[in-house]
Amino acid sequence: MQLHRSLIVIPARLASTRLPRKLLLRETGKTVIQHTYESAARARLPAGVLVAADHEEIAAEVRRFGGQVVMTDPECASGTDRVAEVAAARPEFEIFVNVQGDEPEIEGDAIDLVVARLAASPDAVMATLATPIRDRDRWQDPACVKVVLNDQGRALYFSRSPIPHPRVWDEKLLQENPPHFLQHIGIYAYRRDFLLRIAQLPRSDLEQLECLEQLRVLSAGYAIEVGIVAKAMRGIDTPNDYGAFVSRMRGG
């Protein structure tokens, strides 16, 4: 079953700062972008997967392994803008899922969950995912973005700070269910009409302070659905991340 005609879009940039040309690394026998594409294709609800490339080298690699690809403006400011460019040309789809190209271990079930959450909530414009935090150091790490939800499973706030912050700390809080602390996972499903407008929304003070784009959406008064998954996906940002991924693929 396909809900509300959804499409997965993988925005793919050739340039990368901490790990140069990471999407084209192929120590496993497949490039990172091929791994990500094949993992995303395991989702059952979306109609398909499309790579939105900024460079012909990326596009050529996707064509080489038989994937679908379109060229997008190299000057796009963000992956969201790249997905929006695709959405503008594809009115036949209502929901677009933004999957980062450096997520080779993304799970199809996670993509299906984010699509289903948005499809089931007509008044929400976006959906995303979160996973329980069971480690205090991770909860306190500014690089780990946290989210708190209301009773309906919608985002109240995203922050780099440890939220919610108990007045009295007890280590048992980390193990309780339902979980008190949630790590945001950067996969998004958007309704097409909202995706085409998001770039025109003003950057809120909160977004600029925390450097979190999703706060622009909350600040403007829109609803973001949040699904909960058991674990975070392991993206690739650094050489160490890639080395660990290669080791896992080889059974090490």
What are the tens digits of pLDDT across the range 10-52?
Answer: 999 999 888 999 999 999 999 999 999 999 999 999 999 999 9
The answer to whether 124 and 154 are in contact (CB under 8 A) is yes
Q: What is the average pLDDT value for the chain, to the nearest integer?
A: 95
Assign residue 209 the CATH number of its domain.
3.90.550.10
Pick from 129, 124, 125: nearest CA to 112: 129
Residue 122: inside a domain: yes
| Amino acid, single-letter form, for residue 20 | P
Residue 75 lies in a domain: yes
**Residue pLDDT, tens place only, 142-198:** 999 999 999 999 999 999 999 999 999 999 999 999 999 999 999 999 999 999 999
Task: Tell me: pLDDT of 3 over 60.
Answer: no
- Paired sense of beta strands 224-228 and 155-159, if any: unpaired
pLDDT of residue 4: 64
Q: Which of 79-83, 145-149, 248-252 has the highest mean pLDDT?
A: 145-149
Phi and psi (nearest 5°) for 82? -70, -40
pTM, entire model = 0.95
CA-based nearest residue to 217, from 127, 109, 114, 111: 127
**Tens of pLDDT along 212-239?**
999 999 999 999 999 999 999 889 999 9
Supply the pLDDT for residue 251.
84
- pLDDT at res. 51: 98
User: Which SS3 state, helix, strand or coil, does residue 146 take?
Assistant: strand
For residue 93, being part of any structural domain is answered with yes
Residue 139 inside a domain? The answer is yes
pLDDT for 77: 85
Residue 22: predicted pLDDT: 97
Look at residue 18 in the predicted model and tell me its pLDDT. Answer: 87
In this structure, is residue 98 part of a structural domain? Answer: yes
How far are the Cα atoms of 47, 81, 107, 168 from residue 42, in angstroms, in the given order?
11, 25, 7, 44
Provide the domain limits for residue 128. Answer: 6-245
Helix (H) or strand (E) holding 138: helix 136-140
- For the cut 50, the answer to whether the pLDDT of residue 1 exceeds it is no
Task: Name the domain count of the chain.
Answer: 1
Residue 69: inside a domain: yes
Report the C-alpha gap between 166 and 163 in whole angstroms: 8
